[in-house]
Amino acid sequence: MIATNKYIEVMAPLIVQLWPDNTKDEAIEIIEEYLYGEETGAFVHFVDNQCVGLALCSLRHDYVEGCKSSPVGYLEGIVVDAQFRNHGIARVLCAECEQWAKDKGCKEFASDCEITNEDSFRFHINIGFDEENKIICFKKEI
């Protein structure tokens, strides 16, 4: 289901699970960006009144690896609480994000994961994503 501001407090712990470098306050800021942005979306999944899954998506107008159209719907983050994994919840959340992107006029939907995150890689392949590329990014101070 599409997330609304009434779910912010229950979504925050999932953001911290997904991106552990964030505090709860930072997680709330991230959630608010996705809830109130014109080109962002957030979806939640509940089991017995407990928020157990969260997906964040956006429209990307910049180059997206392997894509030929613009904008591209993009799965920015997805997490399901550990005890509720392998029950299809992430698949449902991703499908909601895909539909959101279609409704926004997108013809392609993309995502990424860390090169070392085998669980995320398998998840993406299992729900129909094709691997486009593996890259290592660099930077230096100037």
Parse the chain into domains and list their residue ranges: 5-126
> What was the pLDDT predicted at 135?
86
Is residue 136 over pLDDT 90? no
Q: What is the CATH number of domain 5-126?
A: 3.40.630.30
CA distance 43 to 49: 15
Residue whose tokens read 């009434």 = 6
Look up residue 78 and give its two tokens. Answer: 């997805």
pLDDT tens-digit series, residues 22-34: 999 999 999 999 9
- Mean residue pLDDT of the chain comes to 95
pLDDT > 70: percent of the chain: 100
At position 54, the amino acid (one-letter code) is L
CA distance 114 to 118: 8
Is residue 63 over pLDDT 90? yes
Length of the chain: 142
pLDDT tens-digit series, residues 37-60: 999 999 999 999 999 999 999 999
